[in-house]
Amino acid sequence: MAIEHNIYIHVPFCISKCNYCAFFSRADIAPDWESYTVGICDEIDYWADKLGRINVPTIFFGGGTPSLIPVSVFNKIINHISEKFNILPNCEITLESNPGTINEQKLDDFIACGMNRLSVGVQSLNDDTLKFMGRRHDVQTALNLLDIAKKKNIKLNADFIYGLPNQTTDDVIQMCKRINTLGLHHVSMYELTIEPTTPFGKMNLNMPSNNTMADMYIAIGETLNLNRYEVSNYAAPNHTCRHNENIWDGGAYIGLGVGAAGRPYFDNKWYEQTGGEIKLTPIDTKTRATEKILTGLRTTRGVLLSDDVVDIISMDFVKQNPYLININNDRLSLTDKGMLVLDSLLLELVK
Ligand SMILES: C[S@@+](CC[C@H](N)C(=O)[O-])C[C@H]1O[C@@H](n2cnc3c(N)ncnc32)[C@H](O)[C@@H]1O
Ligand code: SF4
């Protein structure tokens, strides 16, 4: 019997590209949704042959701009998944959205088809900053979408980016204070990564120093009225993103759509799934355990101390560094200090 798999579905289209973004998507105002749907359904059939009738605890439409999907396409994909797999009764179905691409009617239609978690790309609460980032929406459009979504019986997230050129820690604190007034139960706060292939990557930007970035990270944790449960994610109790939590915890998942990655498990083996064309490479227990440690330690609950994880961790290092690392019950997690030096710490921790 195959184990349960989470499903990630990539939607590689945006109306236009933002100045900072290197995610796999292309600007296309009229994508060929018919061939997109056929491609996704063919991939579902491929996985059904490999995995059998697996249970599906979460489905995540990520992008790109999934809110551009016509509702009929969304419906066809969900129906096809439920023909081939068991969508569990409490399955979390997330859709990423851009303000300005979804109105109340479309939101209601997605909800009627099973969507129960909306992620809104707000990015900034300053109109000039949004323009500089190459966003198509203004602050009011984003706030209107959040207001509409808050009235529905769904989970809701807003994405923000901090660490922008010329931004100060005080600017970030003021932004967090404003976010606190929005009544959100989940917020993602991403530190800006400068990607060389993007317009930002080609500009000579005055970026905050590493020390300022660390101050911003600490200030966000202290100011937001939500709990940090992963390096970039904050939630009220019971409002965490189950899809991401399952994956960070080492759960199996498949990726549908060009460019989607996965970690499927079948025939008693873990595989690395990379796409374009689906390509599967077996990965050994140690590699998979290392991945679990990398993602698990970014979460506050930490990595589960399963046998494969215990086998590759230096317990001497854990014992010698109680101010960086905690062990509670069956999990190993990092202290706030440990989180700030995560990358160098991993080199010592993993044997
Ligand atoms: C896959 S994107 C899709 C979301 C949606 N298309 C939008 O832009 O609103 C998910 C999130 O990644 C974040 N992101 C994208 N590029 C980034 C970068 N270079 N640095 C930091 N965060 C980034 C943005 O906050 C964005 O909302
Ligand atoms: S941030 Fe979102 S809307 Fe902008 S290019 Fe990236 S995926 Fe598209």
> What pLDDT, in 10s, does the model give residues 7-43?
999 999 999 999 999 999 999 989 999 999 999 999 9
Q: What number does the ligand 2 atom closest to the CA of 21 have?
A: 6
Q: Mean pLDDT across the stretch 125-145?
A: 98
Q: What strand order describes the sheet that includes 325-328?
A: 303-304, 331-334, 325-328
Q: What is the mean pLDDT of residues 85-109?
A: 98
Question: What mean pLDDT do residues 165-182 have?
Answer: 98
Quickly state the pLDDT bin for 351 (edges 50, 70, 90).
confident
CA angle (342 as vertex; 336, 344 as ends), nearest 5: 135
Ligand 1 pocket check: which of 15, 159, 192 to mutate, most ligand atoms within 8 Å of Cβ? Answer: 159
Across the chain, what does the average pLDDT equal? 96
Spatial CB neighbours of 124, under 8 Å, sequence gap ≥ 6: 130, 133, 135, 139, 160, 161, 164, 175
- Cβ–Cβ contacts within 10 Å for residue 116, how many? 17
302 CB near ligand 2 (under 6 Å): no
N residues, the chain: 351
- How far apart, in whole angstroms, are the C-alpha atoms of residue 338 and residue 336? 5
Residue type, 55: N
Q: Is the pLDDT of residue 1 over 80?
A: no
Ligand 1 neighbours (beta carbon < 6 A): 20-21, 23, 62-63, 65, 96, 98, 121, 123, 159, 161, 190, 192-193, 195
Q: What percent of the chain has pLDDT over 90?
A: 93
Q: Which atom of ligand 1 is nearest to the CA of 135?
A: 8
Is the shortest distance between the CB of 14 and ligand 2 below 6 Å? yes
Cα–Cα nearest to 326, from 303, 343, 307, 292 = 303
Q: Tens of pLDDT along 218-244?
A: 999 999 999 999 999 999 999 999 999
Per-residue confidence (pLDDT) for residue 4, from 0 to 100: 97
> What type of residue is 194?
I
The predicted pLDDT at position 104 comes to 98
Q: Please give the domain boundaries of the chain with CATH numbers for all domains.
A: 5-246 (3.20.20.70), 303-351 (no CATH)
Q: Is 17 in the pocket of ligand 2 (CB under 6 A)?
A: yes
The sign of the CA dihedral 268, 273, 279, 283 is negative
- Across the range 299-326, mean pLDDT stands at 94
Mean pLDDT of 315-338: 93
Q: How far is CA 347 from the centre of its chain?
A: 25
Confidence at 329, pLDDT banded by 50, 70, 90 = confident
Band of residue 336 on the pLDDT scale cut at 50, 70, 90: confident
